[in-house]
């Protein structure tokens, strides 16, 4: 197992260029507040709003060009209003803002956001998250899930109804580890958001649920999980120490039936009262049997706190 514990401690600081994607929803307002609390004064911040092509929203047979033009004008007006609503959150700081009009370019919202991340060379994309759908409010699972799976940058999702405050930095950060180098690298990167007063916890989930595709005896698998978990948490303790933090660690178990790793992570976050959950986005299938990317995507709709999905570029290139 690759060991980021031994990596250089003076590596480039993460989250220097932050791209905030907004619409007119309360979720976007909370995401802007959280972005300001975490990154104002320490990172360059740009804000974008994507305007859907009205031709993709309405059946062509029921529309006229005049109707489409009017719909486009309204969508652009809404996007500009969303940007204007966000600007006061940053207390007059200079922000780069852009309205991305999909009626003038190919692709959908997901591709537009990923292109914007690449063009602006952002190392973090921040979005609001809602657990319901709306016609014109696109910052929801339909966008966040494919962005999660395709983005090369890190991603921060802020729920509309977050039980954690979004106007202050996190005070209790939970890191979910799977034993891969990516999850340990995500731990080191996520610690850059912690202050000396932040309480920290790292967990490794023992997947005890019985799966139809298991080919090895459950007891044998669990023994392997426990061993990998202990090694992983030992490394996490070393990273806490190396970065000058004190943090607790714990092995967490899923239930035998009707449970999975994402639910176990979110359950622990709720019980420990975490106000930020950090998960790596790229991993390898190892003893623990779960891909970080898959777990991250399935954790998002369950979480009621902000979730930071960390991409570790230097490992992703190997």
Q: Print pLDDT tens along the chain (318 aa).
A: 445 445 444 455 789 999 999 998 899 999 999 999 999 989 999 999 999 887 776 666 555 778 778 888 899 999 999 999 999 999 878 889 999 999 888 788 999 999 999 999 999 999 998 755 443 444 445 677 788 778 889 999 999 889 999 999 999 999 999 888 889 999 999 999 999 999 999 999 988 765 544 555 556 667 778 888 999 999 999 999 999 999 999 999 888 777 888 999 999 999 999 999 999 876 544 444 444 557 877 888 889 999 999 988 665 444
Rg (CA), the chain: 21
Q: Count of CB atoms within 10 A of residue 305's CB?
A: 24
Residue partners of 287: CB distance under 8 A and separation at least 6: 179, 221, 224, 225, 227, 228
Query: CA distances (Å), 224 to each of 3, 207, 238, 285, in order?
Result: 19, 11, 22, 14
Domains and CATH numbers, the chain: 17-159 (3.40.50.620), 169-316 (3.40.50.620)
DSSP, res 295? H
pTM of the model: 0.86
- What stretch of H or E contains 70? helix 65-86
Residue partners of 142: CB distance under 8 A and separation at least 6: 133
């Amino acid at each position: 197992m690759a060991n980021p514990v031994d990596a250089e401690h003076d590596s480039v600081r993460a989250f220097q260029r932050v791209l905030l994607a907004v619409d007119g929803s309360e979720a976007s307002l909370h995401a802007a507040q959280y972005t300001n609390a975490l990154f104002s004064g320490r990172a360059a911040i740009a804000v974008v709003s994507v305007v859907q092509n009205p031709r993709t929203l309405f059946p062509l047979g029921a529309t006229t060009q005049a109707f489409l033009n009017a719909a486009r004008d309204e969508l652009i007006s809404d996007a500009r209003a969303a940007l204007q609503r966000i600007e006061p959150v940053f207390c007059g700081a200079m922000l780069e803002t852009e309205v991305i009009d999909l009626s003038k370019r190919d692709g959908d919202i997901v591709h537009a956001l990923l292109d914007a991340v690449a063009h602006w060379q952002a190392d973090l994309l921040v979005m609001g998250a809602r657990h319901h759908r709306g016609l014109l409010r696109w910052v929801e699972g339909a966008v966040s899930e494919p962005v999660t799976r395709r983005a090369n940058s890190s991603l921060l999702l802020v729920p509309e109804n977050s039980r954690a405050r979004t106007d202050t930095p996190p005070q209790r950060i939970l890191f979910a580890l799977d034993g891969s180098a990516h999850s340990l690298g995500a731990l080191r990167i996520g610690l850059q958001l912690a202050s000396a007063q932040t309480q920290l916890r790292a967990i490794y989930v023992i997947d005890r649920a019985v799966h139809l595709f298991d080919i090895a005896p459950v007891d044998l698998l669990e023994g392997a999980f426990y061993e990998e978990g202990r090694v992983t948490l030992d490394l996490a303790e070393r990273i806490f120490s190396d970065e000058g933090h004190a943090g607790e660690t714990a092995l967490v178990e899923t239930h035998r039936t009707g449970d999975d790793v994402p639910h176990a992570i979110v359950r622990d976050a709720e019980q420990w009262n975490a106000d930020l959950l950090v998960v790596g986005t790229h991993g390898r299938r190892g003893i623990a049997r779960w891909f970080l990317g898959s777990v991250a995507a399935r954790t998002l709709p369950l979480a009621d706190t902000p979730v930071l999905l960390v991409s570790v570029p230097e490992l992703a290139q190997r």
